[in-house]
Amino acid sequence: MRILFIGDIVGEPGRRAVKRLVPRLRAELPADLVIANGENMAGGSGITPRTADEVFTSGVDVITSGDHIWDLKEIMPHLAAEPRILRPLNYPAGAPGHGSLVVDRPGLPAVAVVNAQGRTFLADLENPFPLVLAEVLRLREQTPIIFVDFHAEATSEKIALGRLLDGQASAVIGTHTHVQTADEQIFPGGTAYLTDAGFTGPHDSVLGREIEPVIRRFQTNLPQKFAVADGRILLQGVLVEVEDATGRARGIERLSRPLPPESD
C-alpha cells in the first residue's frame, strides 16, 4: 500500500495545484490512497462543501483538517453527511463530524485514517495522547494500516505522539506549521514519521499569505487582512509505503512539486 499525503492546501492556488498534480502523482508514484489536509483551502481559512467536492474530484480520497475546520459555518452540517472529511478526534463529545474513518475499497487493503489536534499553543481540547492511542488500538481490530494526521504547533508534541504510537500506527505525519521539515524517518516499531508535511499553495509568501500585510502586522501590531498569495505554487507532502499484512512502514519520502505551466 502506497499512501500519498498532501500538506495543508491553502486557498485557490493550493486547490489548483491539487487539481493539476494529483492525477499525475497517482499514476507516477503510484499512489493507492491520497489524503490531504484541507483546513485552509477555502479562501485561505476553512472548508466549504464546494471546495471539498473540488478536491475530491481532483483525486483526493480523504480530507483531514485542524483548528480552522469551523471557520466557515456551512461546513458544519456537511460534516455529518460526508464522512470523508475529518475533524480532529479530540474535540468534545457532540461536536459535528468524525475524527477517523476506515477506507475499504475492492482490491486494496483497508486503511484507517485518524485526525487529531495538539494542545500546545492551540485550543485546549481533550488530551490527544490517550484518545488517539485508544482510537488506534480500536481501529487495529479492523486493519493494521493506520495513518495519523497530527495537526499541532509544537515539534515536541508531534514527536512525542509519534513515539507513543510507534508500532501501532503505520504513519504519524504532522501538519499546521506550513514548513516542511527534513526529519522523515521510520521509528523502530515500524511507524513512519515526519514533523511537518509542509503546505500546498503559494510559497512566495508568508505561509501562503501575501507578504506585506504580515510584515505590517509584525511591525505595527495592528489588524491586517491576510489575503492568499499566488506566486511559486508547490504541492508538498509525503509518500509512505506500508506492508499490507503488518501495517509496518517500509518507506517514507518527502515531496515538493512545482505547479507546471498551463501548457504542460
Tell me if 37 sits within 8 A of 152, measured CB to CB. Answer: no
Q: What pLDDT digit, counting tens, does each position of 147-203 carry?
A: 999 999 999 999 999 999 999 999 999 999 999 999 999 999 999 999 999 999 999
Q: Is 93 exposed, middle or buried (0-12, 13-18, 19+ CB in 10 A)?
A: exposed
Q: Which DSSP symbol is given to 151?
A: E
- Of 60-64, 131-135, 175-179, 223-227, the one with minimum mean pLDDT is 223-227
Which residues, in sequence order, are CB contacts of 93 under 8 Å at separation 6+?
A: none
Per cent of the chain over pLDDT 70 is 99
Evaluate if pTM is beyond 0.85.
yes
- First-to-last C-alpha distance (Å) of the chain: 29
Confidence at residue 264, expressed as pLDDT on a 0 to 100 scale:
63
| Torsion angle defined by CA atoms of residues 128, 174, 82 and 247, in that order, rounded to the nearest 10 degrees | -90
Confidence at residue 80, expressed as pLDDT on a 0 to 100 scale:
87
Average pLDDT over residues 217-236: 95
Question: Choosing from 68, 151, 176, 203, which is the catalytic residue?
Answer: 68
Rounded to whole angstroms, the Cα distance separating 238 from 57 reads: 20
Among this protein's residues, is 68 annotated catalytic? yes
Amino acid at 72: L
Confidence at residue 98, expressed as pLDDT on a 0 to 100 scale:
96
Which residue is associated with the grid cell 464522512? 83
Model confidence band, residue 261 (pLDDT cutoffs 50, 70, 90): confident
Domain limits of the chain?
A: 2-202+231-258
Average pLDDT over residues 201-215: 96
Average pLDDT over residues 234-246: 98
Of 118, 247, 253, 139, the closest CA to residue 194 belongs to: 253
Residue 241 backbone phi and psi in degrees, to 5: -105, 130
CA distances from 245 to 30, 145, 218 (A): 19, 8, 51
Model confidence band, residue 263 (pLDDT cutoffs 50, 70, 90): low
Indicate the CATH number for domain 2-202+231-258: 3.60.21.10
Q: What pLDDT digit, counting tens, does each position of 93-144 carry?
A: 889 999 999 999 999 999 999 999 999 999 999 999 999 999 999 999 999 9
